[in-house]
Amino acid sequence: MGRPDPLDSLIVALDFPSAGAALELADELQGLCRWFKVGTELYYAAGNLVVERLRERGFEVFLDLKLHDIPNTVAGAVRSVACSGASMLTVHAGGGEAMMRAAAAAACAPGSPRLLAVTVLTSMDARELSAVGVSDTPAAQVLRLARLAREAGIDGLVCSAEEVAAVREAMGAGALLVVPGIRAASVNGAGAGAASVNGAIANDDQRRMATPAEAMTRGASMLVVGRPITQADDPAKAAAGILEEMRGGR
């Protein structure tokens, strides 16, 4: 089997406060992107309407809501999302096995999204984990939560590029591993891409980052890219640069 087209592996994060701005960018990236991430900021502002508008344009939607509540509540939320047309949905692995099992059971209904478990946020490092009572390293905690999610029947995982190689080894070749915290090599002066976003990256809240080629080489299935594309002077050119870097890591 040949390698997947990078167009099927790039997810652009629409971290905007309104549907109008998000859809404007989506239209600009036609032909360069097949997947968009709708996170909490945009979803709270526009709800299922923005998901529907993206689907009407032929895009796939990754709904990144990071559900984390009691099992019954999360199961109900999964059933509600099935009506939106989103193709993937996140839950927090930290919610525990019972919560994830309830989510997985709810996602068996026709039209339900594939579920991804968020392990450790890419904005967290060992110091921040320790502050919330986790004494292990981020890598060890990610692997613990990854195994728990697999046992609970979750389809895939969200983890950083630092842990994706170990997670790939533990979960196998068929696991769907989605990696955020991606920054174009050109941010470090190393190649083509979103060089114009250096000012934005300087204030970045991501801690565990990698270039597109690094993440793909380590075993990522899909990459989530936000500011290097959305805040670039020329988003289409930046997206094309990211795709080229991804091809280099295949």
Q: Which of 15, 23, 54, 66 is catalytic?
A: 66
Within 10 Å of residue 80's Cβ, how many Cβ atoms? 11
Q: How many whole angstroms from its chain centre is CA 222?
A: 8
Does the annotation mark 237 as catalytic? no
Within 10 Å of residue 15's Cβ, how many Cβ atoms? 18
Using CA of residue 249, residue 230, residue 179, residue 43, what is the dihedral sign?
Answer: negative
| Ramachandran region, residue 31 (left: φ > 0; alpha: ψ -120 to 50; beta: rest) | left
Nearest one of 153, 158, 171 to 106, comparing CA atoms: 153
CB 185 within 8 A of CB 237: no
Catalytic residues: 66
